[in-house]
Amino acid sequence: MDKSLVNAALAAAEQHGKDVAEVPLGAIAAAAGISRSTLLRRLGGSRAKLDDAVRQAGVDPGGRPPVRERALEAAAVLIARDGLGPVTLEAVAAAANCSPTSLHAVFGSRDGLLATMFDRYVPVPDLEALAADPPERIEDMVHAVYAALAEAFVREPRVLPAIFGDLFTRPDGTAARMLKANLPRMFASLGSLLTAQIQSGRLRPLPLPLLIQLMVGPMAGHMLLRPILQDTLGSILPPVDEAAQTFAEAFLRATAPG
């Protein structure tokens, strides 16, 4: 087969951020500078020959996860290992076995990639789901929030601790921008949960920002420090579930109506 068609298929795949098998023939034809009908004629009416030629060139035409998923997985590993600062589109592309051009096509920019990562590894979507279908008992609601926080902190790769690390060391850095962009969503979900409890008389009507901090602060701080505490204290450190129970009881005592 004409090598130019293989090159056109690879170029179109990189441009669209997809595997060759997922790229429409029209896009491959455009990359080759010919019409779709001409491409089909040169392929003998089937793209199977093109896929075979791409495979013979040493490239898997399909069967791998899409570029988007490979990039997110690669970025998560890099962030957990190196922090946010060194993670560039070039570094992610190399780790995901794709090109920076394909990442630009999928995410638009480095911030676009990191924003998608943020949404996947922080507990905001879980809190939104909880707010959409909240438990009836306040104890169950608090425990569910803490469970979402704990799961987000231990989720592998450990992206959330790396985000906090960037936030603490660079208050005007990438993590701070991502956090500011997502704070309205987190505030809306937790605010909805807490407002319902205030209206039912189960919580004191404290200002919502302070009430949210009272709720999530101790658990988040514990989960950030837990790896160090576990290495130092060993079996003395209570399990996560027991720690969450203790923090939940403390929150409910501190915020109970007078």
Confidence tier at 66 by pLDDT (50, 70, 90): confident
Provide the pLDDT for residue 159. 92
Same domain for 221 and 195: yes
Establish whether the linkage from the previous residue to 171 is cis, with ω within 30° of 0: no
Provide the pLDDT for residue 103. 87
Give a yes or no: residue 61 inside a domain. no
Mean predicted confidence (pLDDT) in 196-205? 95
Please tell me the total count of domains within the chain. 3
Same domain for 138 and 50: no
Provide the pLDDT for residue 42. 86
Same domain for 222 and 128: yes
Mean predicted confidence (pLDDT) in 61-88? 85
Provide the pLDDT for residue 1. 67
Query: pLDDT tens-digit profile of 141-191?
Result: 999 999 999 999 998 899 999 999 999 888 888 889 888 888 899 999 999
Dist CA 198 CA 205 (whole Å) = 6
Provide the pLDDT for residue 25. 86
For CA atoms 143, 196, 211, 155, give the dihedral sign.
Answer: positive
For CA atoms 84, 85, 91, 95, give the dihedral sign.
Answer: negative
Least confident of 38-42, 207-211, 214-218: 38-42
Dist CA 50 CA 187 (whole Å) = 51
CATH number for 80: 1.10.10
Least confident of 44-53, 86-95, 116-125, 203-212: 44-53
Provide the pLDDT for residue 36. 84
CATH number for 197: 1.10.357
Is a pLDDT exceeding 80 seen at residue 65? no
Is a pLDDT exceeding 80 seen at residue 251? yes
Provide the pLDDT for residue 22. 81
Query: Between vectors from CA 140 to CA 160 and to CA 237, what angle results, nearest 5°?
Result: 55
Confidence tier at 223 by pLDDT (50, 70, 90): very high
Same domain for 225 and 205: yes
Give a yes or no: residue 117 inside a domain. no
Is a pLDDT exceeding 90 seen at residue 97? no
Half-sphere exposure of 188 (CA within 13 A, CB side): 11
Confidence tier at 64 by pLDDT (50, 70, 90): low
Give a yes or no: residue 40 inside a domain. yes
- State how far Cα 117 lies from the chain centre: 3
* Residue percentage of the chain with pLDDT more than 70: 98
Provide the mean pLDDT of the chain: 89
More confident residue, 54 or 80: 80
Is a pLDDT exceeding 80 seen at residue 127? yes
Give a yes or no: residue 114 inside a domain. no
Same domain for 131 and 79: no
Same domain for 172 and 101: no
Full residue range of the structural domain in which residue 48 is found: 3-56
Tokens 């040169």 correspond to: 42
Confidence tier at 57 by pLDDT (50, 70, 90): confident
Same domain for 212 and 181: yes
Same domain for 131 and 52: no
For residue 134, give every residue at least 6 positions away whose Cβ sits within 8 Å of its Cβ, in sequence order, or none.
141, 192, 193, 196
